[in-house]
Amino acid sequence: MSLYIGVMSGTSLDGIDVSITDFNDQQIRLIAAETYPFSNQLRRDLHQLISSARTHLQQLGQIDIALGHEYSQAINQLLNETQIAANSITAIGCHGQTIFHAPEAQYPFSMQIGNANVIAEKTGITTVADFRQRDMVLGGQGAPLVPAFHQALFHSDDENRVIANIGGIGNITILPKDKNKAVSGFDTGPGNVLLDEWYQQHHLALYDANGDWARDGIIDEQLLETLMADGFFQQPIPKSTGREYFNLKWLSNILANIDKPIPAKDIQKTLLEMTARSISDAIINYADNTDAVFVCGGGSHNQVLMDALRKNLSGVRVDTTSSLGLAPDWVEACAFAWLAMRTLSHASGNLPAVTGAEKLSLLGAIYPSNIAS
């Protein structure tokens, strides 16, 4: 076996996903996976840091180290639960927590925290982190990075597929059945981030389970039209975005220009339709010969959102990646385990047709285990 661990915590801040994956003989097999919650204090600190985009240097350093410890605890817990020895793991691929993504800055950058020195020391396992920056040095967006893994695992010679990841931010990977055609992909806009934040404004839970609150809402067409008029949706690809752009402040500014009150439940339903519409529009505009769409990420559990996608993509089969052999909750964690494997194999991890980078590149920084210990 060739075992790698993947660690992912996305823009939804819904927990730490940890997977153990076997990449043996070109086969990809999930061995175990679990989601572990953030401590309440760390989740509050991360939410405040991301939503305000302001901090003191000491606070930033403390959160970075604290997150490294919580990643390490989650990894060690899964190893204990599965009785898999740390020395049987080749490496950890840790995405880290994105706190700011700025591909259009004068000096483009994407900042992820979750200190990899802590992870390597506390687990005793070589750790690969900071995957996005190398692609951005080459003129890329640094995102999305998962399409290369989607290609390796989900490509079909028989049908044109799209993999739609609905995490905090939505993104798609277009997988033509013709191997001579380039794989492409990009961020489509908000996934769950606005749905979750608006729900949290009105409930004590973190998200709208199954879309039950939105289910009885009514789409406000004026609001939907205004939301969809945002320039990001018309921006040509390659493109990427994040929580620093799509957030409650963005939504509040739009609502302030709507000259009527809208019930909170109707806003939730309209935000859900915006997510579905932005994903389906992207597929129609860039992959109009799609035979099937397979959804991964937390949005795959929102049945109202899945129904909205099916309605907007009439004639296209819409399912989850479970039907392709990998449960939707673990795709991204497995992807970063795969990217760590690519890095240690001295193989590229990005797709220039997706990110806009000048060329293929190794991704990530390697933090070796402390072999002297």
The rounded distance, in Å, linking the Cα atoms of 356 and 138 is 8
pLDDT in tens, 234-283: 999 999 999 999 999 999 999 999 989 999 999 999 999 999 999 999 99
pLDDT in tens, 49-90: 998 889 999 999 999 999 999 999 999 999 999 999 999 999
Residue 13 is assigned to a ligand binding site: yes
Residue 16 is assigned to a ligand binding site: yes
pLDDT in tens, 122-163: 999 999 999 999 999 999 999 999 999 999 999 999 999 999
Q: Is residue 15's pLDDT more than 80?
A: yes
Residue 217 is assigned to a ligand binding site: no
Q: Is residue 373's pLDDT more than 70?
A: no
Strands 169-175 and 161-166, by their bridges, are antiparallel
Residue 35 is assigned to a ligand binding site: no
Q: Is residue 25's pLDDT more than 90?
A: no
Mean pLDDT across the chain: 96
- Predicted confidence at residue 371, as pLDDT, reads 64
| 130's tokens | 């900071």
Per-residue confidence band for 195, with pLDDT thresholds at 50, 70 and 90? very high
Beta bridge partners, 317, equal 292
- Predicted confidence at residue 14, as pLDDT, reads 85
Q: Is 19 exposed, middle or buried (0-12, 13-18, 19+ CB in 10 A)?
A: buried
pLDDT in tens, 101-122: 999 999 999 999 999 999 999 9
Residue 351 is assigned to a ligand binding site: no
The rounded distance, in Å, linking the Cα atoms of 171 and 277 is 13
Please state the rounded mean pLDDT for residues 345-366: 97
Q: Is residue 10's pLDDT more than 90?
A: no
| 184's tokens | 């492409």
The rounded distance, in Å, linking the Cα atoms of 81 and 34 is 10
Percentage of the chain lying above the pLDDT 70 cut: 98
- Predicted confidence at residue 372, as pLDDT, reads 53
Buried b / exposed e over 239-253, threshold 16 CB at 10 Å, is bbbbbbbbbeebbee
In the chain, the DSSP E strands lie at 3-8, 16-24, 27-36, 89-94, 97-102, 109-113, 127-129, 161-166, 169-175, 184-190, 292-296, 317-320, 365-367
Residue 2, CA atoms < 13 Å, CB-side half-sphere = 13
pLDDT in tens, 298-318: 999 999 999 999 999 999 999
The rounded distance, in Å, linking the Cα atoms of 243 and 101 is 8
Residue 14 is assigned to a ligand binding site: yes
- Predicted confidence at residue 81, as pLDDT, reads 98
- Predicted confidence at residue 209, as pLDDT, reads 94
Q: Is residue 13's pLDDT more than 90?
A: no
Residue 15 is assigned to a ligand binding site: yes
Compare 74 and 10 and report the one with higher pLDDT.
74
Residues 6 or more apart whose CB falls under 8 angstroms from that of 277 comprise: 224, 228, 308, 312
Residue 349 is assigned to a ligand binding site: no
Beta bridge partners, 8, equal 17
Domains of the chain, CATH where assigned: 3-141+332-367 (3.30.420.40), 147-325 (3.30.420.40)
Per-residue confidence band for 212, with pLDDT thresholds at 50, 70 and 90? very high
The 317-320 sheet, strands edge to edge: 184-190, 169-175, 161-166, 292-296, 317-320
Q: What's the pTM?
A: 0.94
